[in-house]
Amino acid sequence: MNDAELNQIITDVLNGRTEKFEEIMEVYQKPIFLYCYHMLGNYAEAEDNAQEVFLKTFRNLQKFTQHEMNFGAWLYKIAYHQCIDIIRKRKLVKYMPFFYQDDKENKDVDLHIEANYFDESVHQAMAKL
């Protein structure tokens, strides 16, 4: 797909012919999936996030301006930020057991942490807090 064809498809989508967006997906779906897979290292996450990239692209297509950036570069930029968000969430999930509000929910977590990770000095420091 050359730039003129791509620009026409974008114009058509913005003018209400949303089915034309499928043509963009056909061209970029595999490369974007592979990019997400490379960044995330998980097939299922890569599939989900590639779809999310196209959803975000569709929702923000009116913000794309041809003279500022190539469409492919813009799409990869969206994919990059989507994958970085997922990587950040992964890091946050590691700490989620500490944020439970209900004591019944984290009783098993507390017991596991106490049994495997804490020593007496940590318990004393936590008690002071």
Domain count of the chain?
1
Q: Note whether residue 128 is domain-resident.
A: no
Per residue of the chain (129 residues), what is the pLDDT tens digit? 788 899 899 999 999 999 999 999 999 999 999 999 999 999 999 999 999 999 999 999 998 877 678 999 999 999 999 999 998 888 776 665 555 555 555 556 555 655 655 556 655 665 565
We report the CATH number of the domain holding residue 12 as 1.10.1740.10
Q: Does residue 54 contact residue 36 with C-beta atoms inside 8 Å?
A: no
Q: Note whether residue 118 is domain-resident.
A: no
Query: What was the pLDDT predicted at 47?
Result: 95
Q: Note whether residue 75 is domain-resident.
A: yes
Structure tokens at 39: 């960044």
Structure tokens at 87: 């990587």
Q: Does residue 57 contact residue 10 with C-beta atoms inside 8 Å?
A: no
Q: Note whether residue 127 is domain-resident.
A: no
Q: Note whether residue 107 is domain-resident.
A: no
Domain limits for position 35: 3-95
Q: Note whether residue 85 is domain-resident.
A: yes
Q: Note whether residue 68 is domain-resident.
A: yes
3-state secondary structure the chain: CCHHHHHHHHHHHHCCCHHHHHHHHHHHHHHHHHHHHHHHCCHHHHHHHHHHHHHHHHHCHHHCCCCCCCHHHHHHHHHHHHHHHHHHHHHHHHHHHHHCCCHHHHHHHHHHHHHHCCCHHHHHHHHHC
Query: What was the pLDDT predicted at 112?
Result: 60
CA nearest neighbour of 66 among 1, 13, 8, 23: 8
Q: Note whether residue 49 is domain-resident.
A: yes
